[in-house]
Amino acid sequence: MPTRNHAYLLPSLLTLGNLLSGFLAIVVLSGAGVENPALTAAGLILLAALLDGFDGLAARRLGVASEFGGRLDSLADVVSFGAAPALLVCELSRPAGRLAWGAAAWLLSATALRLARYDASGDPPGRFEGLPCPAAGATIAAAVIALAGTKGGSQPYLLPALALGLGVLMVSQIAYPRLRVTSRPREFGFVAAVLLTVAVGVSLGGYAPLVICVLFIGSPLYPTSVPDWRLQRRSLGRLLFSRRRDG
């Protein structure tokens, strides 16, 4: 029993690492005197996404997955993939004015809605319903890294536009694949495509994280990425929540 109790610590510590990475990103953006605060915050958000992936893996491998861990993970995700990316959008898109504030508010709200839906009903077996929050937050961070050093009149509007689109994808019912090692031929093609893109992306330097995120965001368009392609085609037509009838 003591060994099992200690086994609970690793996934929880990874989740807390996710939470603290998001918190530090907010601190950096709030004027902590760090050089290149936007890039530092973006890196911390990507670190949070990495830790978020490992905490679930650790819990499953150790056999200690629990409701407590799931709740803690959702709370951490609101900070790391909702509040931190939203603040990043605000800070880098000030010339866009109210559009930036509105887009950031929508991104944060969509993150909370996506997590609440997951906590209430979970995701269908073998796939995510709607874009996962870590993928959305990581995409914002990856875009910031990719755009670092570029200049242009439209740049302040790129992040708000991206935030609006990612928010819609999060609350949608579009099916996204769970990226796990599998022997099923139906899913192997997509996993192989991801690995190939990661390998190619390494040669792209600062664009590598963005390439990986874009590949995942577009994954519902690949027939081999989800268990039932016919179901996926119907899901692509429903970008917003279906209204439930009361009573």
- Structural domain contains residue 150: yes
Q: Which residue has the higher pLDDT, 68 or 242?
A: 68
Residue 213's nearest CA partner among 96, 50, 77, 72 is 50
196: confidence class by pLDDT, cuts 50, 70, 90: low
Host domain of residue 25: 2-235
> Torsion angle, CA of 195/146/159/129, rounded to 10 degrees?
10
Give the pLDDT confidence score for residue 219 in this predicted structure: 64
> How sure is the predictor about 227, in pLDDT bands with cuts at 50, 70 and 90?
very low
**How far is it, in rounded angstroms, from Cα 71 to Cα 52?**
13
The angle subtended at Cα 150 by Cα 146 and Cα 156, nearest 5°, is 90
The model carries a pTM of: 0.79
Amino acid found at 189: G
Gyration radius from the chain CA atoms: 18
> Is 120 contained in some domain?
yes
Tell me whether residue 20 is in a domain. Answer: yes
**Average pLDDT of the chain to the nearest whole number:** 79
3-state secondary structure the chain: CHHHHHHCHHHHHHHHHHHHHHHHHHHHHCCCCCCCHHHHHHHHHHHHHHHHHHHHHHHHHHCCCCHHHHHHHHHHHHHHHHHHHHHHHHHHCHHHCHHHHHHHHHHHHHHHHHHHHHHHHCCCCCEEECCCHHHHHHHHHHHHHHHCCCCCCCHHHHHHHHHHHHHHHHHCCCEEECCCCCCCHHHHHHHHHHHHHHHHHHCCHHHHHHHHHHHHHCHHHCCCCCCCHHHHHHHCCCCCCCCCCCC
Asked if residue 247 belongs to a domain, the reply is: no
Assigned domain for 58 exists: yes
Residue 245 resides in a domain? no
Residue 243 lies in a domain: no
What CATH number has the domain bearing residue 107? 1.20.120.1760
Query: So what's the pLDDT on residue 5?
Result: 61
For residue 240, tell me if it sits in a domain. no
Domain count for the chain = 1
Which of the two residues, 23 and 238, has the higher pLDDT score?
23
pLDDT band at 2 (very low <50, low <70, confident <90, very high): very low
